[in-house]
Amino acid sequence: MKILKTLLLLIVFSSFCNAQSISGNLTLNGKSETELKLESNSAVQLFKEFKTGKYQIKFGFKGKEIPTNIYKEKIVFFEFITTIKKDGELVKNVIRKQPIPYFPGEMFIPAEAFDFIAILASISKEKGNQGVMPNGKYSIQLTVKSVDFKGAVEPVEFSFSTN
């Protein structure tokens, strides 16, 4: 009986040691934290700077014990989280409703994977000022969180001022 308990404990322990996990990071132009220099306070102009490649979001992760699907692909589903602060106060924290699948490795991802452009564009609701960000100091944190795996992807944070 003692041998059986020992064997059972060994099996449980080894399953924890080989647990499915991921690790990785998000960067903006190669940095995990950076200050942007904006030419205007237009959220649309900021979006254009992401689309033309001035600012690039890179997502990289690796996994341990990721099972394959029926097509022999290793896929991990991630939730995309956007947190925006203005002058130190929380403006909005948004988690995308549908997780997005990704393959392990490094890849550039579009700004549209997160919700920061839409949030920044909708802050001002004054007629004639749609898409214009009110003056202030903005801080944006982008995070991806695995749905089914232990571990973490380091977030990226960037900030800028409008005046």
| Residue 23 contacts residue 62 (beta carbons within 8 Å) | yes
In this predicted structure, the answer to whether residue 161 has a pLDDT above a threshold of 70 is yes
Within a domain: residue 30?
yes
Within a domain: residue 80?
yes
Within a domain: residue 52?
yes
Query: Total structural domains in the chain?
Result: 1
Within a domain: residue 100?
yes
Tens digits of residue pLDDT in 92-139: 999 998 999 999 999 999 999 999 999 999 887 766 777 899 999 999
Task: Give long-range contacts, CB 8 A cutoff, 24+ apart: 39-47.
Answer: 41/132, 41/133, 41/134, 41/135, 41/162, 41/163, 42/131, 42/132, 42/133, 43/117, 43/120, 43/121, 43/123, 43/131, 43/132, 43/133, 44/121, 44/131, 46/117, 46/120, 47/111, 47/117, 47/121
Within a domain: residue 10?
no
Helix (H, G, I), strand (E, B) or coil at 37: coil
Within a domain: residue 3?
no
Q: Rounded to 5 degrees, what are φ and ψ at 14?
A: -65, -30
CATH code for the domain of 124: 2.60.40
Calculate mean pLDDT across residues 63-92.
Answer: 95
Closest Cα partner for 80 from 137, 5, 143, 37? 143
Tens digits of residue pLDDT in 22-68: 999 999 999 999 999 999 999 999 999 999 999 999 999 999 999 99
**Domain span including residue 24:** 20-162
Tens digits of residue pLDDT in 12-25: 444 445 578 999 99
Instruction: Say what the pLDDT of residue 8 is.
Output: 47
